[in-house]
Amino acid sequence: MKRIVITCLVLWNVSCIPALYERDKEDLKLPEQFENWESSEKAQKLQTEIWNQFFNEPQLISLIDTAIENNQELAILEQEISIANNEVFSRQGEYLPKLSLQADGGFEQKERFSTPNANSPTLFAHGGLVMSWEIDIWKKLRNATKSAYLLYLASIEGKRYVVTNLVAEISDTYFELKSLDNQLTLIENYIDVLSKVKDMVVLQREAGRTTSLAVKRFEAEVAKNLARKYDIVQRIAITENRLNFLLGRFPERITRKSDDFLEITLPEIQKSVPVDLLENRPDIKQASLVLESRKLDIEVARARFYPSLKIDGNIGYEAFNSKHFKGTPVSLAYGLGGGIIAPLINRKAIEANYATANNLQIQAIYNYEVSLLKAFTEVTNQILKIKNLSQKYDAKNKQVQNLRESVEISNILFKAGRIDYIDVLFSQRDFLEAQVEALELKYNLLEANVGLYKALGGGWRGQKEMDAERKNGSF
């Protein structure tokens, strides 16, 4: 009879579980390859590339090491990981038996006619172990633990994603700083050249070969570039402060060597980018782990519709009067019982939790799809950006070389009195602008290479982090 009742309760609860809309993460299919993709052996190496192998600047590597050690945002994420880890242990404890020590005693006065011969004050005492255990027959508690563990792993991937962005941002800021240093040097050299040419123009004016207009034009150009110099000095200070902030410290001088900026090279990876490398991105791994966790949460919510089996037990010593408290076996008391609890009335709350779990799963699927779309788009954009910037940078270098030769020719002709001062001024100005643009293009090209490395999920390897498998094992 009891089995029939239990079976009826289970069937009734299961038949009343509402049907919910579900989606699968495989709905979104990635293209087989990126645009302009070419196969290369470098692609295999990228799967294990870490930032201290990708970058060849010792000073930059040192800065990244400092940031990973001191950055406050990473320290905050470490605490988030610890919190997620604590949640795993908390969930594990839910499906283990709960054992506690209990002791109580007291004084009781019974009414005269309540119990025969018990109308006098009575002392009582009890002490022993109490056990309570919910049998996880539907895997509700174990699935909840697995879900918490997956969220713990997702928090680790979240930290890795932040590390990847941090490495990229430090690299970009460092290269920008070196670019600004070179621009400042160019401006200072340009001002020095203009001053020397202006002195020559002054001599020519005194000799009657030119007018004061030429002198004023050169003085105005010097003043203009002095203002430009102070602007670059300000940008250098702000960039240094931003880099120090990323390093987790107060503003200070960043030691660096900037005269080799144009010779900096990074591994060329834009022609060896298989789609499979997107799986290295921590944000995609994080979204995938969260999705798996949400699926288990649905199983946990569904299991709440089923009856739960609970076992209670106790063992200890008990006596209604201290004079009878004589130990084993006279005063030994024990008990063992089981019970089945089935939700009958409070179904609305369970249905709401079940619907919420399903909504969170669908939300996680969309987040996963957004991560894939974002990753694929970022990589595609960086590939195109590197290709176009490389061609533009080559053309700009040719322009710089031609303008360098034109400056040398104009200086010779000006000293010989073959050309006017305005030709010298324009040649020097065009040469300066081309050099500054070349420096900016070089920075943009380095930034694009770092961006592609980041978009492919590089940058997080090599840092000290918590080992999830060592601490929790696998489920």
3 state SS for 431-459 = HHHHHHHHHHHHHHHHHHHHHHHHHCCCC
Dig out the tokens for 443 from the structure.
């920075």
CB 142 within 8 A of CB 136: yes
Across-strand partners of 108? 122
pLDDT at 39: 47
Distance between CA atoms of 155 and 86, rounded to whole angstroms? 12
CA distance 321 to 329: 16
Question: Is residue 283 a contact partner of residue 375, using CB atoms and an 8 Å limit?
Answer: yes
First to last CA, the chain: 38
What is the model's pLDDT at position 51? 63
What is the 8-class DSSP label of residue 209? S
Lookup: tokens for 470: 């060592």
pLDDT (0 to 100) of residue 310: 84
Q: Tell me which residues of the chain have a pLDDT lower than 50.
A: 1-2, 12, 14-15, 25-26, 39, 47, 116-117, 466-474
Lay out the sheet containing 122-135: strands in order across.
Answer: 98-108, 122-135, 308-319, 332-341
Would you state the pLDDT for residue 210? Answer: 74
Q: How many angstroms separate the CA atoms of 131 and 7, rounded? A: 27
Six-digit token pair at 408? 């040398």
On the CB side of 262, CA atoms within 13 Å amount to 13
Q: Give pLDDT, residue 33.
A: 58
pTM: 0.81
Instruction: Find, among 413, 441, 455, 442, the residue nearest to 264 by Cα.
Output: 442
Question: CA 97 to CA 93: how far, in whole Å?
Answer: 8
Omega cis (within 30) before 329: yes
Contacts of residue 80, Cβ cutoff 8 Å, sequence gap at least 6: 155, 158, 159
Cβ atoms within 10 Å of 277's Cβ, excluding its own: 21
Domains and CATH numbers, the chain: 24-95+139-307+348-463 (1.20.1600.10), 100-135+308-341 (2.20.200.10)
Tens of pLDDT, residues 371-382: 989 998 998 899
Contact 147, 301 (CB under 8 A): no
For residue range 93-115, list pLDDT tens digits in order.
Answer: 887 888 787 776 666 666 555 55
User: What pLDDT sits at residue 163?
Assistant: 92
pLDDT of res. 473: 47
Confidence at residue 417, expressed as pLDDT on a 0 to 100 scale: 76
Helix and strand totals (H; E) in the chain: 11, 4
Residues 6+ apart with CB under 8 A from 377: none
How far is the C-alpha of 475 from the C-alpha of 457, rounded, in Å? 26
What is the CB neighbour count within 10 angstroms for residue 17? 16
Q: Cα–Cα distances in Å, from 291 out to 172, 329, 362?
A: 33, 56, 8
Per-residue pLDDT, 344 = 67
Q: Which two tokens stand for residue 217?
A: 């034009």
